[in-house]
Structure 1
């Protein structure tokens, strides 16, 4: 049996080529990830808003697989309209699910992970353009986080994030002045980053939080799992 403990449903933007592979690598024994794709062709905030309108139909497909929790696996899609818009997104997803089914969004998972680790001062790495970068900084600051440093790959098109070299995010993050930082956050579920986490933590002495790592962390906690997943940072090693 593939899902002795729980089956997790993933709502994934259609152009994302990274998130599923990260989840398959990170999931502990007894947990299964089932994904469905919601159409996203890029286009910044407007394109993300169109994608978000499809979450109910995507969730209705996951329901047929008997999922025990649902993750909305898109950082920018969950922060573009701020915390209030994110709550509406969660409500749209929840409308298709049994009442007690946990629903997790990536942006909220990052915030929750940082607060769980008593972190407030962060450096942020993204692949986004200026419009989404500004919205993400606003989102984190509205959650009480202080974005001290910022760097972007400025990939131009959303699909290009998934085509980045594994070291792209690592090379940006390692250059930060770390004197007043509590952690480094690497944003975007379509940006290869999980292999950089341990390297960065050892090199910088700071916790490193990535979109897929944090989302899995919160999904597992919501499902009552406790344990340790070494090799992918302090969050999964020491905080489950």
Structure 2
């Protein structure tokens, strides 16, 4: 049994995680601990506080008692808003507190793009424009070529959590770019686990979503590889060996 631990802010799209667990197989367990979200706002100051060391440390002990082998901070905006260096320090601090390998959803996107061998991506963000651009800047720190950034201007995670497949498909269509090798949807408040095949079929290319890459990142930390076609190209392709 491989036990994966996640710190998830608030209560928005957490039902993606048991859904993903069902698709991964019976020998993988997904343990989710909710952290205090503070103010529900896609605003830089609120996001910096959401990902503060004190808030993350609160849930770590519960994951340790559950026997988790790796932990991922399941919040994109609450990690990339700290910048590349700040997000690395956030993960290092989390790993020390947890006593296990750690990462965040922001780094999960970076590693997932490497896994698929894509360097040119489009971003379909729910966030306001300034926050969406911070995500693009974070990815550029790893050399990812951002060909387009779409911002929906959604202020709260609560609003993003109300979106269903029609809104997701509209976001994907409006955010895609012909030069993009993949589309990234970075909000963990979006329910995407049930809709990835439809999104990839619509665009004809890989679609990386926040909760999907978060679980994949935990599997990577635990040195597990799982074939799960219903979770999209990320869970079906062989890894690309970078030159």
Q: What's the TM-score, normalizing by structure 1?
A: 0.89
1:83-142 per-residue CA deviation (whole Å, 9 max, x = no partner) reads: 1111111122112223xx221210101111111211111111111112211211111111
Note the 1:38-53 alignment, pairs <5 A.
Answer: 38-40=35-37, 41-43=39-41, 44-53=43-52
SS in structure 1 of the partner of residue 97 of structure 2: coil
Quote the residue 1:30 is aligned against.
27
Quote the residue 1:106 is aligned against.
105
Corresponding position: 1:11 with 2:10: no
Contact 1:169 1:186 in 2 (8 A): no
1:189-238 per-residue CA deviation (whole Å, 9 max, x = no partner) reads: 11122333212322322111111111211211222222310122111122
Q: Structure 2: how far apart are the matches of 1:15 and 1:45?
A: 20
Q: Structure 1: how far apart are the matches of 2:106 and 2:222?
A: 19
Contact 2:115 2:234 in 1 (8 A): no
Note the 1:116-155 alignment, pairs <5 A.
Answer: 116-155=115-154
Corresponding position: 1:62 with 2:60: no
SS in structure 1 of the partner of residue 194 of structure 2: helix
Contact 1:56 1:95 in 2 (8 A): no
SS in structure 2 of the partner of residue 37 of structure 1: strand
Alpha-carbon offset, residue 176 of structure 1: 4.8
Q: Structure 2: how far apart are the matches of 1:28 and 1:124?
A: 30
Instruction: Report the CA distance shift for 1:122/1:48 in structure 2 as closer, same or farther (over 3 A).
Output: same
More off after superposition, 20-29 vs 195-204: 20-29
Alpha-carbon offset, residue 148 of structure 1: 1.0
More off after superposition, 44-53 vs 78-87: 44-53
What root-mean-square deviation, in Å, do the aligned CA atoms of Structure 1 and Structure 2 show? 1.9
Corresponding position: 1:75 with 2:76: yes
Corresponding position: 1:183 with 2:182: yes
Corresponding position: 1:159 with 2:155: no
SS in structure 2 of the partner of residue 201 of structure 1: helix
Note the 1:190-205 alignment, pairs <5 A.
Answer: 190-205=189-204
Q: Structure 2: how far apart are the matches of 1:165 and 1:74?
A: 20
Q: Which runs of 5 or more residues in structure 1 are unaligned?
A: none
Contact 1:22 1:212 in 2 (8 A): no
Q: Which runs of 5 or more residues in structure 2 are unaligned?
A: none
